[in-house]
Amino acid sequence: MDKYEHGGNIYIYDKDVIDFSSNINPLGFPECIKDSIDIAAFTKYPDINYTQLKRSISKYTGLKSENIIVGNGASELIYLFVMALSLKRPLIPSPAFLEYERAVTLSGGNPLYYQIPEEDGYVVDVDKIVNCFKEVDSVIIGNPNNPTGKGIKLKDVEYIVKGSKKLNLPVMIDEAFIEFICDYEEYQSLDLIDDYDNLFVVRAATKFFGLPGLRLGYGFGSESLIKRLEAYKEPWTVNAFADAIGRRIFDDIKFMENTRKYIKEEIDYLTNELKKIDELVVFDTLTNFMLLKLKHMNVGDLKEELLKRRILVRDASNFRYLDDRYFRVAVKSHRDNVKLVEAIKEVLK
């Protein structure tokens, strides 16, 4: 498996598959986007400052437009943060999203990794993170974390940010999956932006709003940090299509509430059913995907058997500190989730 391979690569398979490898909202995208496209907008450049898009995000989050930057997916903003601040030695609690490491190594850096302990169910020990600060030049954390699905409560996030501030360390919190959590307000760190100018928070329309093909990410920071990032950013990385849709989706409160309710119900179902399978270790999750561990079989064989049943899971063996016993599955429709459970039972019986 490639070192930085992701889920969602359904194009290499000959037959249609149910894609559990990609963590996208199973309810699809908000209906409101269908009438939000102005064809005439495609005949001119997008607003280089994305004024209306930032205004929409501002209304949604309560932060000022001056605290907002938009990009071609969250990935662009992750790379931009590393490049603009010349980060060479970030602390990355791992296993973690592979693009954190890749962004740093492509910039000539060498991350320091804190191994999140499996024996504690992949819950992050914030004291151990803070104890590493003198060895690094920055901190990069997923909240909730991918692939473990675990989150860090706001008071613990502030403990990390406050500790890093004392040493002038920039902190990036990747909240790409945070809106899937029912009580996400207890985890999100947007309230810290005004008090900590070393904090950068990244989110994406990709996952929660079911728009991976759109490539729309957005980030939050102090006005001075956003200006510094903008100085390194390429112009017009958000196209007119993404700009137009981004102005609408943040108003659809009903879609957001329905998503959180649905994800909670289906994660409860998957957790309860998969824990009945003796050959599996199931790690509890807050968000729309879950990490699983095989007790005896290897994931390559499992994946091959599931593909015969038109089911694709995410081989998680290329995440740091995981091996060929680990895989990740996302929440899909209830009907598909039932198929997943039955197929795994059949293969592992």
Q: Which domains does the chain have, with CATH numbers?
A: 10-28+254-348 (3.90.1150.10), 31-251 (3.40.640.10)
DSSP one-letter code for 206: H
pLDDT category at 15 given cuts 50, 70, 90 is low
Whether the per-residue pLDDT at 179 is higher than 50: the answer is yes
pLDDT in tens, 110-136: 999 999 999 999 999 999 999 999 999
pLDDT at position 6 is 45
Based on C-alpha coordinates, what's the Rg of the chain? 20
User: Could you tell me which residues are beta bridge partners of residue 22?
Assistant: none
CA 21 – CA 10 distance, rounded (Å):
9
pLDDT at position 34 is 77
CA 142 – CA 149 distance, rounded (Å):
9
Q: Is 261 exposed, middle or buried (0-12, 13-18, 19+ CB in 10 A)?
A: exposed
Taking the CA atoms of residue 300, residue 305, residue 307 and residue 310 in that order, the dihedral angle to the nearest 10 degrees is: -150
Helices marked H in the chain — which ranges? 51-61, 73-84, 98-106, 126-130, 154-166, 205-208, 223-232, 240-249, 253-274, 299-308, 334-348
| Top-confidence residue, 2 or 22 | 22
- Per-residue pLDDT, averaged over 257-278, amounts to 97
| Top-confidence residue, 93 or 12 | 93
pLDDT at position 13 is 57
pLDDT category at 275 given cuts 50, 70, 90 is very high
Label residue 121 left, alpha or beta by phi (over 0 means left) and psi (-120 to 50 means alpha): left
- Per-residue pLDDT, averaged over 5-33, amounts to 76
pLDDT at position 266 is 98
| Top-confidence residue, 43 or 27 | 27
Whether the per-residue pLDDT at 333 is higher than 80: the answer is yes
Are 202 and 18 spatial neighbours (Cβ–Cβ below 8 Å)? no
pLDDT at position 4 is 42
- Per-residue pLDDT, averaged over 15-26, amounts to 90
SS3 348: helix
pLDDT at position 40 is 55
pLDDT in tens, 195-239: 999 999 999 998 999 998 889 999 999 999 999 999 999 999 999
pLDDT in tens, 52-92: 999 999 999 999 999 999 999 999 999 999 999 999 999 99
